[in-house]
Structure 1
Amino acid sequence: MINFKKLDSSYEDQALGLLKENNLPSEDFDLSQFHVIGALDDGRLQAIAALEIYGPNALLRSVAVNADKHKNGLGTNLIHEMIKESEKLNLSKLFILTETAEGFFTRLGFEITDREQVPTPVKQSKEFQHLCPASAVCMSLSL
């Protein structure tokens, strides 16, 4: 049975493994700096998503699902969990950069967003500046 919980540093190795398995940036991933939710099945991390918070906005990043769990709704449930968590944190807007999951995030209510409309603090994140290529699609979701 899958349980969602905020992760602490004891999950660092498993989280980094999921990011690498999904070919996602991990150089600046830091469980102590980001708000990270994990999907656990019998103590094993099956999926993660992180919020990099900038005032009322956040960059949703590091969304990764174990390959064995693809296509079974876990990613959708994880994003719904992150949206609930974002509302609890009183965030007003989520931003994401994606190269491969535009359709997935569109189905969840995210809309393509011009990078010029992204608040400056979010645009100054390492993800926007260095880790994601300019070809990545920028999307946002108002909460």
Structure 2
Amino acid sequence: MRELTLASISPDEELKAALASAGLPIDDVDDPGRSYFRLVDDQSQLLGYSGIEEASDGAALLRSIVIVPAFRSHGYGRHLTEMTLDRIPAASEVYLATTSASLFFERIGFQVVERNHVPQAILSTRQLSGICPASATIMKLNRPPT
């Protein structure tokens, strides 16, 4: 496996194009309260992007996990997700919404949760209050107690 680096970035057209090409929403990418990252290897090859939205002091939304097509199915998605999760305080509850990747996220430790068990701060994000379809699966990371 290559040496990987996760670097903070500002939202740009490359990020938006990668998200859009993967069928991920870009409507709120420029909104405040979001952090985005670029995953590169030791040869400076772009592997993927990820994002975090701070919904409250104790809850965050993992968003925008995408691996560029040439590097898919090589394990980089798991590395990108885990490296991004390391950027979220350990005491925070982490949620995500997905329409197609619930099995992938289950292997990382997320579990499906019903909407009535999701904090209002998460439900109030643009992702969950209007951008993602109501049929999206909401998942919560099962972290060991700190």
How has the CA–CA distance of structure 1 residues 45 and 34 changed in structure 2, closer, same or farther, with 3 Å as cutoff? Answer: farther
Residues 32 and 134 of structure 1: CA distance in aligned 2, closer, same or farther (over 3 Å): closer
Residue 106, structure 1, aligned to residue 106, structure 2 = yes
Q: Calculate the TM-score normalised by the size of structure 1.
A: 0.88
- Corresponding residue number in structure 1 for 2:134: 134
- Secondary structure at 2:12 match in 1: helix
CA contact (8 A) 1:6 1:35 kept: no
Indicate conservation of the 8 Å contact 1:8/1:32, yes or no. no
Return structure 1 stretches of 4+ with deviation > 3 angstroms: 41-45
Find the aligned partners of 2:45 and 2:27 in 1 and give their Cα distance: 22
Paired with 2:91 and 2:131, the residues of 1 have a C-alpha distance of 24
CA distance in structure 1 between the partners assigned to 2:8 and 2:30 by the alignment: 11
Q: Secondary structure at the match of 2:106?
A: helix
CA contact (8 A) 1:38 1:47 kept: yes
TM-score normalised by structure 2 residue count: 0.86
- Residue pair 1:48, 1:65 contacting (<8 A) in 2 also: yes
Is the aligned partner of 1:116 residue 2:120?
no
Shift of 1:118: 0.9
**RMSD of aligned alpha carbons:** 1.9
Letter in 2 for 1:133: P
* Letter matched to residue 141 of structure 1: L
CA offsets 1:28-81 (integer angstroms, 9 cap, x no match): 112863122220244453211111012111011111111111100000001110
- Which ranges in structure 2 are unaligned for 5 or more consecutive residues? none
Name the structure 2 match of 1:39.
39
Structure 1 gaps of 5+ residues are: none
Contact 1:7–1:31 under 8 Å retained in 2: no
Deviation string, structure 1 residues 87-130 (Cα, Å, up to 9, x no partner): xx344211011011010000001000011111111110000011
Q: Secondary structure at the match of 1:85?
A: coil
Q: Pick the structure with more helix per residue.
A: 1
Structure 2 match to 1:59: 61
Distance in 1 (CA, whole Å) between partners of 2:52 and 2:8 is 12
**Cα distance in structure 1, aligned partners of 2:142 and 2:86:** 12
The more displaced of 123-132 and 77-86 is 77-86
Q: 1:91 to 1:16 in 2, by over 3 A?
A: farther
